[in-house]
Amino acid sequence: MPFLIEKKFAVCYNIFTMENAVKIWDKVKKELSNKLSATAFLVWINSIEALTIKDGELVLCAPSKNSRDTVEKNYLEDIKYCINILGYNFTSVLIITEDEKQYFVTEDDAATTLSSMIDVKKEKPLSQFVSKYTFDNFVVGESNKLAFVSAKTVAENPGVNDNLLTLNPLYIYGGVGLGKTHLLHSIGNYLNEHNPSIKVLYVPTETLTNEYFASLSKYSSDKDAYRNFREKYTSVDVLMIDDIQFLQRKGGLQDIIFHIFNALYINGKQIVLSSDRAPREINDIEDRLRTRFEGGLMTDIDTPNIETRIAIIIKKLEKENIALSDDIIYFLAEKINSNIRELEGALLKVIMYSQLINKVPTLELAKEALKVDNIDNGNNIDSNKIIEAVCQYFRISHSEIVGKKRTKDIVEARMIAIYLIREFLDLPLVTIGQIFGGRDHSTIIYSHEKISSSINTLKTSTQIKDIRSMLNI
């Protein structure tokens, strides 16, 4: 237990100091919300309040002893890290409980001010990599084993080109929410820790695109803008580009990527790319760029099997120091099988619902939280099975139906798949959009309405009937 001020000296809060502490803690919480998982932040951090600043020490108040102990054990270092990157120079962080509050705060606190707690020299840039995305936190299963091993190998030996098997570029592809970005950030975090002298740059394709066109628009007033843009990407030791599929139909940008790629590769620099599909399935991309993407190691991440999903839930619970019964874990793993994000979201929903109604989580409570009927319909229909049936019926591939291709037959199949998922599964529009390659919710609504309006035509009604028959629904 931290030291306590004698009760006879505890008289009142100092408003000036408390306002400073609250202001600082609000900023720290904002950083923590980006750094920690939603579960950790909502369950453990959000209930912590700022109390005061005492002798260079930030004093926080937890609602219970269990809350304080859990935060001190699992999240105190994260709190200190966020305080540090914001530039605040506290001697330490102290967490007390509501019961101890009356013994701690004294009128002497008036001496501490906000400005005295800021040390500009200690300011550090925020890492471009999410700290929780590490190799240690990545659950390895049959669906992602090769991608994991490849990413770990690249992190340990970036830019090494073996004559038998080159991992440069490393091209990781798979559906939404399966762990591609996690692996890219894991590479970055590993390099920052074990080889900090290496210059690493991670960029989503959308950001790279915006920077490229911004450099062109500035050219009339800043002749160096384009050169600076190109140098930014050719002067690194490791370049990681996320969601490379969005390069399609951007001819000028593809040209600069081609030259950046060549400059890095020739100089033995590592290139890591992620996409929702293989290079050959990206429409409107130049062949010279496609062949370079295929020139290294391509590895896919598939939907995790039930064993991997169970392992993901267990690891998440261990990290958050939360206990759930096996029947709840198995229920979640069986019900949520499309992607990891949806699985983690369902887990969070169950935990938060139990907290909200102040009851111990049970299987019945989990079903209530996810609005699942207690009576099983026996069909075990999920989005993957619907998409698989539609693909089989229309003789197209899974990557085509969830991808960006817009030929008439694929668009028709995609709309029917979306219609069936909306009709028979209780999934949010955003989730359905993620299943179909990150499409906007308005696209999902339009597809459903389009099929609904033509459901009475012979062609559409026959198609729906045949697919439902394949699914036994």
The reply to whether omega before 279 is within 30° of 0 (cis) is: no
Whose structure tokens read 């002798």? Answer: 55
Contact partners, residue 438, CB within 8 Å, separation at least 6: 176, 276
Q: Distance between CA 93 and CA 53 in Å, rounded?
A: 9
Residues 432, 437, 440, 445, Cα dihedral to 10°: -40
Provide the pLDDT for residue 162: 55
Q: Which amino acid is at 464?
A: I
Dihedral sign for Cα atoms in the order 372, 378, 379, 380? positive
Q: Are 467 and 381 in contact (CB under 8 A)?
A: no
pLDDT (tens digit, 0 to 9) for every residue of the chain, 473 residues total?
333 333 333 333 344 444 478 888 888 888 887 777 766 777 788 888 888 887 778 889 888 787 788 888 888 888 888 887 777 777 788 888 877 766 665 444 434 434 444 443 344 445 678 888 899 989 898 888 999 999 999 999 887 655 556 788 999 998 878 889 999 999 999 999 899 889 999 988 888 888 888 888 876 677 788 888 889 999 999 999 998 888 866 668 888 899 999 999 999 899 999 998 888 888 778 888 899 999 889 999 988 888 888 888 888 888 778 888 888 888 888 888 777 888 888 888 888 888 888 888 888 888 888 875 443 444 567 888 899 999 999 999 988 899 888 898 899 999 999 999 988 886 777 778 888 888 887 888 889 888 988 887 888 888 998 898 888 77
Provide the pLDDT for residue 103: 60
Q: Considering the entire predicted model, what is its pTM?
A: 0.55
Domains by residue range for the chain, with CATH: 7-122 (3.30.300.180), 145-301 (3.40.50.300), 306-369 (1.10.8.60), 383-471 (1.10.1750.10)
Q: Are 114 and 24 in contact (CB under 8 A)?
A: yes
The DSSP secondary structure of 91-122, one letter per residue, reads: SEEEEEEGGGHHHH--GGGGG--SGGGB-GGG
